[in-house]
Structure 1
Amino acid sequence: MASEQKITIYNYNKDNYSEENASFDECINYKDKSGITWIDVKDVNNEQLLEKISNCYNLHQLVRESLLEQNKRSKIEDHGNYLFILLTTMSYSAETDEVFSEAVDLILGDNYIITFSHGTTISQILEPTKKRIRTEGTRLRESGTDYLAYRIIDALIDNYFNILKSYGEKVEILEEEIFNRGEKELLLHIQKLRRDMLSIRESIWPLREVLNSLQRGESRLIRPETRIYLRDVYEHTVQIMENLETSRDITASMLEVYLSTVNNKINEVMKVLTVFSTIFMPLTFISSIYGMNFHYMPELTWRYGYFAVWGSILIVVFSMLAYFRKKRWF
């Protein structure tokens, strides 16, 4: 019974709507049912279930293999009677401060859509789309499967904007900390930020190619009126790519600023050490002279010799300090 709760079927048209948790046997009843059917499969690790669904809808062997793959990359395949669209998205966990990849395998047919969710947050991402299905009078209830596919793709794309917003805030915080602290941990944060943005870029890049193919209208399953919406989603991917490039440039500048700040601190330390070394050079010279073991050194028997040496040392020290201060070396 546990696996039965991992298939949700939505069937709807302009006037009617139904939603139920179902087993595979109940899925078969919806194959030729009137209206639009969305079969949302969450139990993607159940190979037996995937095989049954694949057989029921005559999915190609390559599609079946793609459903079982662990490392996903966005792509689109036209199999005539249906489209196989593999969609990836990225999610961010504030608790672990990590981004992770998730994916949806989407089968688009004439009157049905099957989605296989790979990830823990996919249901949450697609919840606004499900609410539109439940609401009577929405464009989604009056449109076909291609528009439903558009709404699913749009939800996954919009999720990237949420991640970019979070990372934009992190960039602002790091910029302030670089100037205020410049600690070593900041370098690790900057490097992690750059790696995460690279992962996001690698995820969104093939998605753009998928959307470009869809909005060009190469499949009969995508109606002309839906291509307009897909073109809008394609522009969203371009915008995300531009935002990513901007953020990467900012993090590169932050890295340069951090290294410059560290070098400036090192230079300040070296300046102080150089000043002290320069001051002690004449003092060492004076001390070394009177540290020589000659029998005849007149100053050694002079009553005020000790005080004269100390006076010379203090004069040299204060003179050099005054000179360095005048030159603004410290």
Structure 2
Amino acid sequence: MDKLTKKIIDLPKRLLVEEPLNLYSGIRGMFRESSKIAGLPPGSAVYTGFRKDTPFNIDLFSYSENTLEEKNNISIEEIINLPKDGNFNWINIEGIHHAEKVKEICEAFGIHPLTMEDILSVGQRPQIDDTENYLFVALKMLQFDSKKNKTLNEQVSFVLTKDLLITFQERKGDTFEAVRNRLRAGKGRIRKEGLDYLLYALVDTVVDHYFIVLEKFGDILEEIEERIMFQGQKRDFDLLYTLKRELIHIRRSVWPLREVISKLERDEIKLIRKHTRLYIRDVYDHTIQAIDSVETYRDFISSLGDLYQSVISNKLNQVMKTLTIFSVIFIPLTFIAGVYGINFENVPEFQWEYGYAYFWSLLIGMAVITLGIFKYKKWM
């Protein structure tokens, strides 16, 4: 048994019992947090997601074409007092459930309170907002947890100014490590281009990870297809239902992203150069491809559900066919046994020396004739 098969066998109990309960608890928690916003003035600093144990952390990449300075776990005062030396600055903030610290940063960099509210409201759909001083983009970042075999959904927000890019994340760990490595290596055009190109690179990485998650779904669905064809157990059908719900969450993250990328590509946003729009157009194509993949897997799940029903129906038909054959064989035998079970004295076979052998020969012969008819008609 390979590793993937073992994971799939172990999935149903967790997905069908433990995860729905956790999801229900999480949704209740989100509604409780969202209810705190009700009645508050617009722009209130209230985090609406799940409470995390992630500590508040700020990382800084300050770079130019020939230089790079990387700092980890720096203070808010350090980023507020960044020197104006002409370098491009990327500030990555983790742990936005520390709402007061996020509010302090937003106030320091002139980020509108309504934008701050969107940053902290993590349950919303991907969006883009072009203001006079900055560009705000919020989208969903998906990761596949291979240990738990489930999809992790996180909102990541981008605030782009003329000389600064700030990213806000809910927890530690993201999909941006490849971009950081490109910055450290100093190869390609990422350190030569501006912050709008860095924004493109980060968004492109997020979209590329959609394909990684979808590929995992494809592997699991192919394994389920094989299991259904050979076994057709009910847990496979239950697992398909769980995966379908999981795919619906992915679809909610991917579909609105198309509109966001389209605005980045086509609208006259002053912070996005024309040269960078060519690369963003490629991200848009990838987004459309991801949407097509999501729809394909949704259809695949539906077809696997139909396949499961067909396999189960076929098994049921085989069982009914077997029972029917036995019934047809034993009906005449039962009739013969009933005839010779009567209590009349003048039945000739009762006094015959070979009557008992005749009785069994008749039963066996009738059974053989019935089986021969089934074989001739190719009913078995």
TM-score (norm 2): 0.81
Match of 1:189 among 239, 255, 260: 239
SS in structure 2 of the partner of residue 142 of structure 1: coil
Residue 28 of structure 1 is matched in structure 2 by 80
Match of 1:170 among 220, 227, 243: 220
Aligned to 1:152: 202
Match for 1:13 among 51, 60, 64? 64
Residues in 2 aligned to 1:157 and 1:311: alpha-carbon distance in whole angstroms: 77
Q: Tell me how far apart the structure 2 counterparts of residues 192 and 220 of structure 1 sit (CA, whole Å).
A: 44
How far 1:50 sits from its partner (Å)?
Answer: 0.5
Q: For residue 100 of structure 1, what is the amino acid of its counterpart?
A: L
Preserved CA contact (<8 Å) 1:217 1:227: no
1:129 alignment partner in structure 2: 179
Q: Which residue of 1 aligns with 2:135?
A: 83
In 1, the alpha carbon distance for the partners of 2:187 and 2:238 equals: 51
Report the counterpart of residue 63 of structure 1 in structure 2.
Answer: 115
Count of residues paired in the alignment: 327
1:210 aligns with 2:267: no
The 4+ residue runs of structure 1 with deviation greater than 4 A are 2-5
Question: Alpha-carbon deviation of 1:115?
Answer: 0.6
Question: In the alignment, is residue 105 of structure 1 matched against residue 157 of structure 2?
Answer: yes
Structure 1 segments unaligned to the other structure (5+ residues):
none
Larger Rg: 1
Aligned residue identity for 2:313: N
2:323 is equivalent to residue 235 of structure 1: no
For 2:92 and 2:141, the matched residues in 1 are separated by 17
* Contact 1:126 1:152 (C-alpha < 8 Å) held by counterparts: yes
1:278-297 matches, within 5 Å, as 278-297=328-347
Quote the offset at 1:174 in angstroms. Answer: 2.3
Alignment match of 1:271 (pick from 310, 315, 321): 321
Distance in 2 (alpha carbons) for counterparts of 1:191 and 1:120: 31
Q: Within 2, Cα distance between the matches of 1:231 and 1:238?
A: 11
Instruction: Check conservation: 1:217, 1:224, Cα contact below 8 A.
Output: no
Going from structure 1 to structure 2, the CA distance change for 1:275 and 1:23 (only over 3 Å counts) comes to same
Question: Contact 2:56–2:96 at 8 Å: present in 1 too?
Answer: no
Distance 1:140 1:194 in 2: 38
For 2:144, what is the secondary structure of its paired residue? Answer: strand
1:53 corresponding residue in structure 2:
105
Partner of 2:361: 311
Contact 1:187 1:255 in 2 (8 A): yes
Cα displacement (A) at 1:209: 0.8
Q: Distance in 1 between matches of 2:194 and 2:292?
A: 32
Letter of the structure 2 residue corresponding to residue 185 of structure 1 = R
Q: Deviations over 1:206-260 (max 9, x none)?
A: 1111000100033111111111111110000001111222222233222222221
CA deviation profile, 1:41-89 (whole Å, cap 9, x unmatched): 0121211211110110122121121222242421111221111110112
Contact 2:136 2:157 in 1 (8 A): yes
Inter-partner Cα distance in structure 1 for 2:54 and 2:377 = 79
Deviations 1:141-186 (A, max 9, x none): 1111111110110110110111122222223222322222222222
1:43 matches 2:91: no
Structure 1 position 3, deviation (Å): 8.9
CA contact (8 A) 2:64 2:192 kept: yes
Compute the RMSD of aligned alpha carbons.
Answer: 2.0
Deviation at 1:103, TM superposition (A): 1.8
Distance 1:14 1:290 in 2: 105
- Residue 34 of structure 1 and its aligned partner are, at CA, apart by 2.6
Gaps of 5+ in 2: 1-52
The answer (yes or no) to whether the contact 1:3–1:23 under 8 Å persists in 2 is no
Amino acid at match of 2:257: L
Q: What is the CA–CA distance in structure 2 between the aligned matches of 1:222 and 1:314, rounded to whole Å? A: 89
| Deviation, structure 1 residue 35 | 1.7
CA distance in 1, matches of 2:84, 2:103: 19
**TM-superposition CA deviations, 1:95-134 (whole Å, max 9, x none):** 2121121121111111101111124441xx1011112222
Structure 2 CA distance for aligned equivalents of residues 127 and 33 of structure 1? 26
Rounded Cα–Cα distance in structure 2 between residues aligned with 1:40 and 1:271: 66
**Quick one: distance in 1 between partners of 2:358 and 2:54?**
97
Identity %: 36
Worse overlay, 221-230 or 188-197 = 188-197
Say if 2:92 is the partner of 1:92.
no
